[in-house]
């Protein structure tokens, strides 16, 4: 499954997170795959696309990120192509 993880930087300050990444690296639990990320220009939020079959892996990863004042929102998502396949049979029903 795919998950959009919306991470908020405390006080829009990404420096503590980036220092940790530089100094320690990012440790993902086995089975949790990082797909990509995007940062808002004002450093308010980071959008990370993650993939895993067990949402508990996301919980474990978030617990490993404690102490930096970040908050997380996890949103299950479905790729547009797959959604089009689900919606297609319904397009001409009305």
Q: What is the pLDDT of residue 62?
A: 93
Q: What is the pLDDT of residue 25?
A: 83
Domain ranges of the chain: 2-90
| CATH topology (fold) of 2-90 | Alpha-Beta Plaits (3.30.70)
Higher local confidence (pLDDT), 37 or 65: 37
Please check the confidence at residue 68 and state whether its pLDDT lies above 90.
Answer: no
Contact residues for 47 (Cβ-Cβ < 8 A; gap 6+): 4, 5, 6, 7, 37, 38, 39
Q: What is the mean pLDDT of the chain?
A: 93
């Amino acid at each position: 499954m795919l998950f959009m993880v919306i991470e908020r930087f405390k006080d829009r300050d990404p420096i503590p997170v980036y220092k940790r990444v530089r100094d320690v690296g990012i440790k993902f639990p086995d089975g949790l795959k990082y797909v990509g990320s995007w940062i808002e220009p004002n450093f308010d939020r980071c959008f990370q696309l993650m993939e895993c079959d067990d949402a508990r892996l996301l919980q474990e990863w978030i617990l490993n990120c404690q102490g930096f004042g970040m908050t997380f929102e996890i949103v299950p998502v479905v790729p547009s192509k797959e959604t089009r396949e689900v919606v297609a049979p319904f397009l001409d029903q009305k």
